[in-house]
Amino acid sequence: MTQKPPRRGTALRLHRQLERIWSPDPRFRGWLTTNNNNDVGRLFLAVATLFFVIGGLLAMLIRAQLATPGSAFMGPEAYNQVFTMHGTVMMFLFAIPFFEALAVLLLPGMLGTRDLAFPRLGVYGLWVYIFGGSAVIVAMLMGLSPDGGWFMYPPLSSAAFSPGIGADVWLLGITSIEVSAIATAVEIVVTVLRYRAAGMSLSRMPIFAWYILVVAVMILTAFPPMILGSLLLETERALGWPFFQVENGGDPLLWQHLFWLFGHPEVYIIFLPAAGMIATILPVMARTTLLGYGWVVAAAVSLAVLSFGLWVHHMFTTGIPHLGLAFFSAASTLVAVPTSIMIFSWIGTLWKGRVQMKLPMLWLLGFFATFVIGGLTGVMLAIVPFNWQVHDTHFVVAHLHYVLIGGYVFPMIAAVYYFQPLLTGRFHYFRLGAVAFWLVVPAFHITFLAVHVVGLLGQRRRTWTYDEGQGWELLNLIASTASFVMAIGFALVILDIGITTFSGLRGKRNPWGATTLEWAAPMPSPAYGFASIPIVRGRYPLTDDPDLPQRIARGEGYLADTSRNRREALIVTTTTGKPLQVAVMPGNSALPILLAVVTSTSFLAPLVQAYWLSALALVGVVIVALVWVWTTAPRQSEGLVDAGHGARLPVAAESPDPPGWWGSLFLLVADGVHFGSLMFGYAFLWTVAPNWPPPSYLVPTLLPVLLALGGAAALAAGPRLAARAVATGHRTALALVLSLFGALSLATAAASVMLARQDPAGHAYDAALWLLAGHVGFHAALAVIMLGYLALRRISGHGLRVGEARIVSLWADFTAATGLVALAAAWLPGTFA
């Protein structure tokens, strides 16, 4: 950094100015309008912890019921609800939100930036999660929970066998939570790729950033199949579209495919953030650096993709051909390779360092002891004949808890202890943490070793009770007793962290001697994070330059100039980390929470058959979203601004690839996977559903085909021309009209499919056609809304930016391309039949 002699008081003055610019609104209002990652992340973390407690209480109810044979504590109806809710709450309301919360809190610090790329999107995601999660819990308290297990297999979850709204609560509530996860994932991806310290090239990124990048991309590709599955099942339940009903051309196996296309990657979506935390904490605890950084990155990437090729191993007992079994057995054994690379990297790191037995380290040892066993039983389960033997027994339950608790909960506790000084500025002074550890870990092993054994002896999972005299009594009693001890231990952990947060000792910066940037910020981190954007020259900036924190505070990095009086962050090139643009971050606003309210209303209103309210809320979504983008778009051009260090950079919103363009790109990745899943479902039914072919196929006529082709061409060309016109200062009206014309013709072609087949409830084929056409219609409508926005922007005299036109162009391309594929898929079988 520059060698200006430090002036006394500079840091303090800078701090005051930045504090004024970045601080949330005062008092209670601040909680509703803040979008600062510190506030959002804290609330996120607290809510996720609350759901862990709820899930844990449900687990205690399960174990209480199973403690003795023939127990009268719960009947089968209650038991079904309790274990379904336990699995659902733990997987969807605790595990995923919890690491997302940590990422929201920690990523900006680790990357050396001031906030996440889309702070308001983060707030939106948080509140959609809070509303959706609360709805699920409220329904449970009213006795209306789902009871079909956390994977909701039809036909059990269909309208015929699960009447009432339990299954709908699950489908709608969980889908809204997935929407929220996708919002956060988009935010994370763009942040890691673009918002970093100057000079932070890919190879200098902290390892957690790699892991969380990989995980966020996995969320974008794994959740859409599940969202599609929920959409299909909900339309079947509500409207009778028979996607999973064999008599009418559906196939319940389709659900299993869609669910596990999500469900298996989900396991790694949960494990990889934990692995990222381990790779972050372990080297610091061992006073060394991570062994084999490049190998670990490669292992994380390969594990992420491999995990998408394993889904059928959850379906080994569904009667698929042997060759199919062999494929997935082979692929499943493969994941042991990258996992082992990670484990060896950790062991090697411990080996080359000097381990300090601090509390986070203790929990990491708990992880090692547990996860290795879980991995071994996982490999056992990947072997088909063994899998057949223990399928749906408590052996599987024990395996999955070894992986989830050992591989996720323990590392996350280590992470919370490790980052607590950074997040709260306080240190623990009681030995409560160690006591809790020695309660939880041994009790955990006693519980689930016993559960392994009863599983091998044949006890079925998801079964409310068992008979005496099978030799299971003692083991179950041991498991239940130990699980209560474990629960007390977890309660002590939460208590310990709570006590420290509110009354721990204040301490000095960077107590563990960490090497990464988050520890260069003041403790606890102020709203603005860094007083100036750091400049890094290696992977371990705090080792390279121990004075870095002071330099940052004195404003010797980028963007220390507060005279523009707004929140600014640096955008860098993805590979090299060279400063590229200045991003202007949005201020406090109630819009995100408002958008979350209307979104959640439109998701949850159908639960009480208030379809009109749902539709109304959808209109609200459009309006609020438009106001949101309208008010954040820049008003006048600034040209280049001074970013410090002699760099004059463009403002991001004025560049051809503003953050919104990148966000759209990754949102479209998710949308594309959703569309791909839809095509997969259609092809699946066409190939294997028993009651096919349908009574008749749709035979296309010339006009709709021409409309589709012409519409797609116009929709692809129009926005491009508009973007070019904006760039060269020409008139955009004609291009916009052309685009509008394209969107409308595409929509008309889609409508023709629906008009030709008026009974989507008749056969799964017709239902699929309606969904394909619906996909086209929905995206055409989106295109129309976006074009309307561009037109309004122009007419109102605000002027258009190239970036805005290019964002619309991106969506229009997607609409045109998937529209053509969808309509071709609808028309082809009839053409050749």
The site for other proteins (CB under 8 A) is made up of: 193, 201-203, 294-295, 297-298, 301-302, 304-306, 308-309, 312, 321-324, 326-327, 330-331, 334, 337, 574-576, 683, 686-688, 692
Least distance in Å: CB of 652 to other proteins?
A: 16
Longest Cα–Cα distance in the chain: 86
Tell me if 167 contacts ligand HEM by CB under 6 A.
no
Judged by beta carbon distances under 5 to 8 A according to partner kind, the member of ligand HEM, Cu ion, other proteins, none in contact with residue 95 is: ligand HEM
Name the nearest CA neighbour of 116 among 19, 15, 185.
185
Q: Which is nearer to Cu ion, 241 or 408 (CB)?
A: 408
Asked whether the beta carbons of 391 and 358 are under 8 A apart, the reply is: no
**Degrees, nearest 5: CA angle 231-774-180:** 45
Q: Which is nearer to ligand HEM, 98 or 131 (CB)?
A: 98
Calculate Rg over the CA atoms of the chain: 27
The number of C-alpha atoms within 13 Å of 262 and in the hemisphere containing its C-beta is: 26
Shortest Cβ contact with Cu ion: which residue? 264
Where in 474-503 is the site for ligand HEM (CB under 6 A)?
Answer: 483, 486
Q: What is d(CA 634, CA 199) in angstroms, rounded to the nearest whole number?
A: 28
Q: What is d(CA 348, CA 351) in angstroms, rounded to the nearest whole number?
A: 5
Cβ neighbours around 326 below 10 Å, total: 11
Least distance in Å: CB of 487 to ligand HEM?
A: 6
Piece in contact with ligand HEM (CB under 6 A), picked from 123-131, 403-411, 592-600, 669-677 = 403-411
Judged by beta carbon distances under 5 to 8 A according to partner kind, the member of Cu ion, other proteins, ligand HEM, none in contact with residue 397 is: ligand HEM
Tell me if 101 contacts ligand HEM by CB under 6 A.
no
User: In this structure, what token pair is assigned to residue 451?
Assistant: 């559960």
Q: What is d(CA 811, CA 786) in angstroms, rounded to the nearest whole number?
A: 9
Pairing mode of beta strands 568-572, 579-584: antiparallel
Judged by beta carbon distances under 5 to 8 A according to partner kind, the member of other proteins, Cu ion, ligand HEM, none in contact with residue 326 is: other proteins
Residue listed under structure tokens 């021409």: 706
Tell me if 401 contacts ligand HEM by CB under 6 A.
yes
Helix (H, G, I), strand (E, B) or coil at 648: strand
Expressed in angstroms, the distance from the first to the final Cα of the chain is 71
Q: What is d(CA 695, CA 683) in angstroms, rounded to the nearest whole number?
A: 17
Q: Which is nearer to ligand HEM, 401 or 720 (CB)?
A: 401
Least distance in Å: CB of 199 to other proteins?
A: 14
Least distance in Å: CB of 150 to ligand HEM?
A: 4
Where in 220-279 is the site for Cu ion (CB under 5 A)?
Answer: 264
Piece in contact with ligand HEM (CB under 6 A), picked from 397-405, 573-581, 630-638, 650-658 = 397-405
Judged by beta carbon distances under 5 to 8 A according to partner kind, the member of other proteins, ligand HEM, Cu ion, none in contact with residue 202 is: other proteins
Encoded one letter per residue, x for contact with ligand HEM by CB under 6 A and - for no contact, window 31-60 reads -------------------------x--x-
Q: Which is nearer to ligand HEM, 326 or 474 (CB)?
A: 474
Tell me if 84 contacts ligand HEM by CB under 6 A.
yes
Least distance in Å: CB of 264 to Cu ion?
A: 4
Least distance in Å: CB of 693 to other proteins?
A: 9
User: In this structure, what token pair is assigned to residue 701?
Assistant: 């006529």
Tell me if 554 contacts Cu ion by CB under 5 A.
no
Give the one residue of 149, 292, 348, 634 binding ligand HEM; rule: CB under 6 A: 149
Q: What is d(CA 428, CA 498) in angstroms, rounded to the nearest whole number?
A: 10
Give the one residue of 40, 90, 559, 715 binding ligand HEM; rule: CB under 6 A: 90
Judged by beta carbon distances under 5 to 8 A according to partner kind, the member of ligand HEM, Cu ion, other proteins, none in contact with residue 302 is: other proteins
Asked whether the beta carbons of 742 and 714 are under 8 A apart, the reply is: yes
Q: Which is nearer to ligand HEM, 390 or 641 (CB)?
A: 390
Q: What is d(CA 99, CA 151) in angstroms, rounded to the nearest whole number?
A: 22
Alpha carbon distances (Å) from 77 to 138, 169, 460, 798: 18, 17, 16, 60
Helix (H, G, I), strand (E, B) or coil at 489: helix
Cβ neighbours around 666 below 10 Å, total: 20
- Amino acid identity, residue 24? P
Least distance in Å: CB of 464 to other proteins?
A: 37
Name the nearest CA neighbour of 34 among 88, 115, 111, 107.
115
DSSP-derived secondary structure letter, 7: P
Q: Which is nearer to other proteins, 202 or 621 (CB)?
A: 202
CB neighbour class for 631 (10 Å; exposed up to 12, middle 13-18, buried from 19) = exposed
Least distance in Å: CB of 375 to Cu ion?
A: 13
Least distance in Å: CB of 323 to other proteins?
A: 5
Q: What are phi and psi of 583, to 5 degrees?
A: -95, 135
The residue count for the chain: 833
- Amino acid identity, residue 35? N
Give the one residue of 45, 404, 669, 800 binding ligand HEM; rule: CB under 6 A: 404
Q: Which is nearer to ligand HEM, 95 or 649 (CB)?
A: 95
List of residues contacting ligand HEM (CB under 6 A): 56, 59, 62-63, 83-84, 86-87, 90-91, 95, 149-150, 397, 400-401, 404-405, 408-409, 461-462, 483, 486
